[in-house]
Amino acid sequence: MTHSFNLGVGLIFIVDKENVDAMVWLLKSKKEKPFVMGEVV
């Protein structure tokens, strides 16, 4: 199914810079595959 449909990013979290590492750690501990997409300026 993932080869047939564009499933996109799925869910986006907007997090303060100070909390990015903690959020990435939390999501990885839940077996997710987080990545930092960009920055709000």
Return the closest-CA partner of residue 33 out of 4, 5, 10: 10
Centre a 10 Å sphere on the Cβ of residue 15 and count the other Cβ atoms it contains: 14
Q: What is the pLDDT of residue 1?
A: 66
pLDDT, one tens digit per residue, over 1-41 is 667 887 788 899 999 999 999 999 999 999 999 999 999 89
Q: What is the pLDDT of residue 24?
A: 97
Segments making up each domain of the chain, as ranges: 1-36
Longest CA–CA span in the chain (Å) reads 38
